[in-house]
Amino acid sequence: MGFIKFIIIVLIVYYAIRLISIYVFPFLIKRFMYGMSKKYQCRQADNRDVNRKKEGEVTIDFKAENRNNENTRNVGEYVDYEEIK
């Protein structure tokens, strides 16, 4: 009797998981993707508004100079060597 109960419970759990994976997971994934697409669209709209400039407006962007180049060039001294026999 205990073995039959075990088999029935395993079958019920198997079919429950199968139904959930067929119907519930795709629904949750669709909702997640819909929410992410809405978030992306809102961010794109915000970026378009921020990047829009008035006609005739001039902006100048400067690149930061890399000051580390001077330090990397002077790594050390060159030392001559002589072969000793």
Answer whether residue 3 is part of any domain.
Answer: no
H or E segment to which residue 26 belongs: helix 25-51
Between 49 and 43, whose confidence is greater?
Answer: 43
Answer whether residue 62 is part of any domain.
Answer: no
Q: What is the pTM of this model?
A: 0.42
Residue 58 has a pLDDT of: 78
Answer whether residue 66 is part of any domain.
Answer: no
**pLDDT tens digits along 4-23:** 999 999 999 999 999 988 98
- Number of structural domains the chain divides into: 1
Is residue 69 pLDDT above 90, yes or no?
A: no
Q: What is the mean pLDDT of residues 33-46?
A: 89
Given a contact cutoff of 8 angstroms between Cβ atoms, the answer to whether 59 and 53 are in contact is yes
Domain extent at residue 16: 12-47
